[in-house]
Amino acid sequence: MKLLVVEDNNDLLQNILTYLEREGYICEYARDYDEAFNKIMSFTYDIVLIDIMIPGGSGLQVLRKLKSVDSKTGTIIISAKNALDDKVEGLELGADDYLTKPFQLPELHARIKAVNRRKHYGGNEIVQINEIEINTKTMEVKVRDTLLDLTPKEYDLLVYFSSNKNHVLSKQTIAEHLWGDYVDHLKNLDFVYQHIKNLRRKLEKAGAKNYIESVYGIGYKFRVR
């Protein structure tokens, strides 16, 4: 998958590139408006990540131009501004998703995956992890044709794991993915363990291997060899 990251901050760019390249994406980047404009006009990308505040113009302009030439490219707006206006405008212009800084890299990755599925497979992609089959359209999970009865949160958790295979995901990260900012109001994160325990039990019952590893004192890892 080919990505373009439009971001003027070098450190942030390196963070994103390091993480995504490790996932096997082909990443290009643009540091200002002109560079971004030239690249979207010359090449096609599967996903473009756009920071709103870039030198020489606005990320929203890049988005507008991109949509006028190629509507198939998935777009994710990244903004430091929490301003709702930007979000609304970005989504109105056809951005597929919106992230505010600071975001978590696994979260960004999960969003990229989701946008990619929506844009390029019509949301119909079947995610296959060995014997596990996730239908992202019907939200059904099968293990060797056995349909699993998952709660929405368990499904969400599995998709999140599948997007971030072989990464250690902390309880905090998982909780924030599933419940967003509300996590701040929870006294402890034991419920993450409850959800993972249930998911693991359901997968094993259907005959799947135990992919979810507990990493002591840290969190969990979805290990796929």
Binding site for other proteins (CB under 8 A): 9, 11-12, 15-16, 18-19, 22, 53, 80-82, 84, 100-106, 153, 167-168, 170, 172, 179, 181-182, 184-187, 191, 215-218
CB of 60 to other proteins, least distance (A): 15
Sheet holding 2-6, edge to edge: 26-30, 2-6, 47-51, 74-79, 97-100
Alpha-carbon distance values, 28 to 61, 119, 139 (Å): 19, 19, 32
CB of 23 to other proteins, least distance (A): 11
CB of 30 to other proteins, least distance (A): 17
Which residues are CB-contacts of 22 (< 8 A; sequence separation ≥ 6)? none
Q: Between 137 and 197, name the residue whose CB sits nearer to other proteins.
A: 197
**Residue 217: exposure state from Cβ atoms within 10 A (0-12, 13-18, ≥19):** exposed
Size of the chain, expressed as the number of residues it contains: 225
CB of 32 to other proteins, least distance (A): 15
Q: Between 101 and 205, name the residue whose CB sits nearer to other proteins.
A: 101
CB of 160 to other proteins, least distance (A): 15
Q: Between 14 and 146, name the residue whose CB sits nearer to other proteins.
A: 14
Q: Between 100 and 135, name the residue whose CB sits nearer to other proteins.
A: 100
Sign of the four-CA dihedral 55, 58, 62, 65: negative
Q: Between 62 and 143, name the residue whose CB sits nearer to other proteins.
A: 62
The rounded distance, in Å, linking the Cα atoms of 169 and 162 is: 12
Q: Between 128 and 194, name the residue whose CB sits nearer to other proteins.
A: 194
Check if the beta carbon of residue 174 is closer than 8 Å to that of residue 157: yes
CB of 100 to other proteins, least distance (A): 8
Q: In the block, which residue shows the tokens 């006294």? A: 187
